Structure 1
Amino acid sequence: MRSALSVLRTVERCALVSIFLTMAGLYFVNVLVRASGSPLASSLGWIEEAVRLMNLYLVFLALGYALEIGRHVAVDTWRSRIAEATRLPVQRIIDAVGFLFSLYLVWLAWKMTLFVFGSGQRSPTLGLEMGWIYVAPLVGFGLLALRYLLSFLGLIDRTPAREADEA
């Protein structure tokens, strides 16, 4: 299980870095061509839409990884005080609710993806089926649900990075 998670982390990091560098490169080329006043600028209109789509995938693919390394927004002092006062396993409750909510969002994204693919809509400049936009939340919330489940089962500890930063 640990090696599979290590492979998943590596694939996620490589995908995120590749998407980000490709976005930056495409946008840089677009700005250079437009600034030069080249007639080529009108044929590069697809770059803006491609970068927007890549940004969408970048955000959703980073959800699970950000949770695992403790980079999601959290109110740690509140969570600690509630846990101490009530003796409830607050972290496990958060993981369970996060897992269930993520699964619900995966289900919604799945339904929406099927609907949009079924409609046959295409993006104007890329000609890409618009259903691919809804695959991003489907995969992203699936990865987030996986991380919540792994945290609930105690296979990952998603708090040390945040605590180390505060020290």
Structure 2
Amino acid sequence: MQYYSRLMDYAVHITKYLLGISLAIMTAVTVMEVVRRYLFGLSFPWAEELVRFMLIWVTFVGGAAAFRSGGLVMLDLVTGRLPERAKLILQLFTNTVVLVFLLFLFRNGISYSLSPVIVNQNSAGLGISMTLPYMAIPLGFGLMILFSLEHYHRIISQLRKE
């Protein structure tokens, strides 16, 4: 399992690097578009669409990275007062519910992203298949599933130590 954790560390490292590049590109394109529009009265037909599609990818893939590092919102009002073993059991239950929900979203994300309505539709500005922006959904949830499985291992290891 140590190999799996290192692999997930590497995946998150690459993800954060790509997210940083994506945010830089989004910022540059937005600034360029604002300057071009206000100074010259012109605009690129693809700029707003590119930034929107990149924002979708940053949201879902960045959400997965935040999920692994525990950066998402969590209410620990109740769990903070529980004994350690009860906390772990509650985490195990919560992780199970989250995993079932993620599997549902992953499955539906793939079926929707690959549906003929999406596959046969092209974006107006970039002219790319709409499958590309929609695939951020199953990819983000797929990463969250992998991270959730890693979390299972951590919880079970801690339960065995107790």
What is the TM-score of this pair, normalised by structure 1?
Answer: 0.82
Q: Which residues of 2 match residues 54-65 of structure 1 at below 5 A?
A: 54-65=54-65
Q: What CA distance in whole angstroms lies between the structure 2 residues aligned with 1:28 and 1:119?
A: 31
Indicate conservation of the 8 Å contact 1:116/1:131, yes or no. no
Q: Which residues of 2 match residues 69-148 of structure 1 at below 5 A?
A: 69-81=69-81, 83-84=82-83, 87=86, 89-116=89-116, 119-148=119-148
1:3 Cα offset (Å): 2.7
User: Which consecutive unaligned segments of at least 5 residues does structure 2 have?
Assistant: 156-162
* Structure 1 residue 10 corresponds to structure 2 residue 13: yes
Q: What CA distance in whole angstroms lies between the structure 2 residues aligned with 1:95 and 1:119?
A: 33
- Identity level (%): 24
1:55 Cα offset (Å): 0.2
1:121 Cα offset (Å): 0.6
Kindly report structure 1 stretches of 4+ aligned residues shifted beyond 2 Å.
78-81, 116-119
What letter matches 1:24 in structure 2? T
Indicate conservation of the 8 Å contact 1:100/1:145, yes or no. no
Q: What CA distance in whole angstroms lies between the structure 1 residues aligned with 2:121 and 2:80?
A: 48
Q: What CA distance in whole angstroms lies between the structure 1 residues aligned with 2:99 and 2:149?
A: 6
Q: Which residues of 2 match residues 17-32 of structure 1 at below 5 A?
A: 17-32=20-35
User: Which consecutive unaligned segments of at least 5 residues does structure 1 have?
Assistant: 156-167
1:144 Cα offset (Å): 0.8
Q: What CA distance in whole angstroms lies between the structure 1 residues aligned with 2:9 and 2:119?
A: 38
What letter matches 1:25 in structure 2? A
Q: What CA distance in whole angstroms lies between the structure 2 residues aligned with 1:99 and 1:110?
A: 16
